[in-house]
Chains A and B, each alone.
Chain A
Amino acid sequence: MIVIDPAKCSGCRRCEVNCAFFHTGRVGRASSRIKVVKLEALGIDYPVVCRHCVERFCNRCPESAIEIGPLGQVLISPTLCTACGTCERLCPIGAIEMYGGIPHVCDLCGGEPRCVAQCTMGAITFAPAASGTVSLKPFREKARGATTEARRVCFALAETQVLRETWIAERGRS
């Protein structure tokens, strides 16, 4: 899976740009499968992307259009998918989003993630072995009724809480 280090992320969104361009030849956040949450008031930037979670919430697709690829990535069958949006609603962290009638989720670019290659901060890495180690259960309750963007924000806040605490503890050091 893709691993994020928020301490290094500058919020430039090169990952979004290159994801969208690789998949569509065009650039736009809506068609990117990785989306950076920017919380300017906290100095936080956090790219939200599929965590390859233990639960595989999205895999309860009513059309059985989703299968898990060899690298742990979510693969969606374009022929079986009816664009019902269930997978988007099921993902507790907003890592799947419909755009133009297609669910957009990270497919690891087939094993060579462009976001990793183009991140000049070293904030995004590819760790195949980490797939299936993260539980997203705690986010399920919080996700209920929230918009997809709001779920990403909620996840980003949780994932960066420790970082913020470290900054605060060290502020004005030396």
Chain B
Amino acid sequence: MNGYAGCILRVDLTSGEIRKEKTDPAEMRKVIGGRAMNSMRLIRELKRDIDPLSPENLLILGVGPLTGSLLSASAYTTISGKSPLTGILGDSAAGGHLGPEIKQAGYDQIIITGRAKSPCYILIADEHVEIREASHFWGRDIWETTTAIRKALDDNAVQVAAIGPAGENLVKFATVACNNSRMFGRTGMGCLFGSKNLKAVVVRGTGRITMADPPGYLELCRELDQRILTHPEYERRKKLGSTLLMKALNGIGILPVNHFQEGLCKYVDQVSGERLAERYKTKNKACFNCNIHCSRYYMTPKTEGEGPEFETLCSYTSRIGNRDLEFALSMTSYLNRMGLDSLSSGETIGWAMECVQRGLLTSEDLDGMDFSWGNTRTIEQIVRRMVHREGLGDAFAEGTRSLARRFGKGTETYALQVKGLDMICGDPRGIKAFGLTYAIASRGADHLRAEPFFELTGRYEEAEKRFGTRDAGDRLSDNGKAALVEYTERQALLTDCLTMCKNIGLSMDIIDFDFAARLLAAGTGLKFTPERINEALRRNIIGERKLNIDFGVSPEEDTLPRRFTHEPLPEGPSSGTVVPIDRMVKEYYRIKGWDENGVPG
């Protein structure tokens, strides 16, 4: 096949059976690749009512037809399954260098089922696939594990997707990591690895990726490179990566401070991306074939590593009242080693701190720890306890929704989550389309399902043209936002299917449906057109929606935490306004052609 590797791998860890199937081009035209390909697999094969931690759950690693190709930033792998954190659709994508290696080894998708009797890892070296003993790696952190596996195989070039102690201990928001610090962070895919006694998936591929029309594909890739290199945000993104958002969001008053009680951070200059770059950055880092190189390597007197991205930086600074950047970097290293999601772990801490501030909880409720804002000793202690499920950490390891239900007493109001997934770091009161995204996203409070970055770019003419109203380009307006989100939701899924970076494909608005169709056609030789692509994207968005309905999601859950719908921010450029979420969700259903309960026809 062209584009696609042509093979789907199935590994059952209970029986040890390894099977290979041919990738079906007719099917691929309907799902393209990446997330949609994985979701479709879940829709077809997953028993809906199972416990996510049971052997029946599917754990799927998927890449796409353009992964690992000449296309810039075609680096992403999506890991999917029923989420142990939310109980609904779970998936998480990461860049790094794993995806291209899976393709070079000859696979489009790896479907893992069952549960191994003892800790194991899956070794994939081209056509050779083997389940190997991993007891000697169990208990080791991600960085040690990666190094140890490469050493054991005497091959530094193998790509390793591994979990750390958090995944082993079934922390519900444990991550999987590749290249040490590229995180499959959300919805607890690391916990799924742990539940299957799977320490790592290790891949070495010596094959090549073939395109149907190499000269045509080359030309398209170069055109895309020009779009990237001449983009007005190029230099800034190259220097700071996503950490530029610390000051950018603070500038419009939506940087979460003390658990979203405020949107302006007085000490932002102490914890900003600029500060990080100036003082701790040693050099740029990049995912496979990227020309922005937005990631960074940092070194402090105490630690070093790759990252952090904005969400981690904010989660461990202003969101929980910490103004010590070096401490945040130490936590970044620790979270990456242990395999713990920074957003969800950060939310549990922010929740506890706010509950203490409001007198809803006392230190007696919290193992005697002092949860005052920015208390680094407590932050360090509770994260350690979460990873190892010690004492109170055991309850925290279940995620904020479950944690707040357990404590009750009104603390549920301050659990900032949607459908069990914790809020990202961008206050929706000042970015209304993002608010709608968090409410309707098929994996919970998440921006990446639609990332309507457009509303921040001030392109009013373009807004009128694309979405029928200039208001769609005004971040504070809710008008036209359902149309915007309906559009960017498809664009986001498209980016996921092309396994391209969202920063480039979506936030920088580089990829449109027409261009994607040309890329896919030149890459695969299949008859991809903008119409067919959109049909595939729409079908999959409906598929994910129906899957979640099967999992028991109700329309009442298409909403935001009360804070964002009833309490305006006290000061700054986004003060005095809330998200009229009910109205926006209704409008979104209407545009989709779904009924008043959000059920597709």
A residues neighboring B (CB under 8 Å) = 7-14, 17-18, 20-21, 24-31, 35, 37-41, 43, 45, 99, 120-121, 147, 149-150, 152-153, 167-168, 171-174
Contacts and interface: CB of A to CB of B under 8 A. Distances in A.
Given A29-B104, A29-B157, 7 more contacts: A9-B283, A11-B286, A14-B289, A27-B69, A30-B207, A167-B282, A168-B299
B278 interface: yes
Contacts of B291: 12, 14, 120
A24 B218 CA distance: 13
Contacts of B208: 20, 24, 26-28, 30-31
B143 A172 contact: no
6 nearest CB pairs, A to B: A28-B208, A12-B286, A10-B286, A43-B297, A10-B293, A26-B208
A68 B4 CA distance: 39
A13 B299 contact: no
A146 to B, nearest CB: 9
A172 B207 contact: no
Contact of A41 (B104, B147, B279, B280): B147
Contacts of B293: 10, 12, 120-121
A99 to B, nearest CB: 7
B279 A43 contact: no
Interface string B245-283: 000000000000000000000000000000000111011
Nearest to A25: B214
B304 A153 contact: no
Nearest to B278: A174
B97 A43 contact: no
B288 A21 contact: no
Interface in B305-356: 305-306, 326
Contacts of B295: 10
Contacts of A45: 285
Contacts of A29: 104, 157, 206
Nearest to B290: A12
A7 to B, nearest CB: 6
B68 interface: yes
Contacts of A28: 104, 205-209
A119 to B, nearest CB: 9
19 contacts: A8-B284, A10-B283, A11-B285, A12-B286, A17-B289, A21-B214, A25-B210, A27-B208, A28-B206, A30-B104, A31-B208, A38-B157, A40-B143, A40-B181, A40-B306, A45-B285, A120-B291, A150-B156, A168-B299
Contacts of B210: 25-26
Residue among B209, B210, B279, B284 with the highest chain A CB neighbour number at 10 A: B284
Residue among A9, A25, A147, A174 with the highest chain B CB neighbour number at 10 A: A25
A166 B123 CA distance: 37
B577 interface: no
Residue among B155, B208, B297 with the highest chain A CB neighbour number at 10 A: B208
A174 B146 CA distance: 33
A98 B61 CA distance: 30
Interface in B200-215: 205-211, 214
Nearest to A7: B283
B301 interface: yes
Given A31-B208, A40-B306, A168-B299, A12 B288 contact: yes
B211 A43 contact: no
B218 A167 contact: no
Given A40-B146, A41-B180, A153-B156, A17 B70 contact: yes
A172 B97 contact: no
Given A10-B283, A12-B287, A38 B209 contact: no
Nearest to B214: A25
A40 B299 contact: no
Contacts of B143: 40-41
A152 B70 CA distance: 24
Contacts of A25: 210-211, 214
A8 to B, nearest CB: 7
Given A147-B155, A149-B155, A153-B156, A40 B300 contact: no
Nearest to A18: B70
Contacts of B284: 8, 10, 121
Nearest to A20: B208
Contact of A26 (B146, B211, B305): B211
A84 B305 CA distance: 42
B289 A43 contact: no
Contacts of B69: 27
B45 interface: no
Nearest to B208: A28
B364 interface: no
A57 B217 CA distance: 38
Contact of B156 (A9, A12, A37, A168): A37
Nearest to A173: B279
A11 B104 CA distance: 18
Given A40-B306, A43-B306, A30 B290 contact: no
B289 A149 contact: no
Nearest to A172: B301
A25 B157 CA distance: 23
B154 interface: yes
A102 to B, nearest CB: 13
Contacts of B290: 10, 12, 14
Residue among B278, B285, B287 with the highest chain A CB neighbour number at 10 A: B285
A83 B229 CA distance: 41
Contacts of B207: 28, 30
Contact of B229 (A35, A120, A167): A120
Given A26-B209, A28-B206, A171 B285 contact: no
A25 B2 CA distance: 12
B283 A43 contact: yes
A21 B279 CA distance: 38
B326 A172 contact: yes
A26 B291 CA distance: 19
B283 A13 contact: no
A62 B295 CA distance: 46
Contacts of A43: 282-283, 285, 297, 299, 304-306
B491 interface: no
Nearest to A147: B154
A168 B304 CA distance: 10
A118 to B, nearest CB: 8
A25 to B, nearest CB: 4
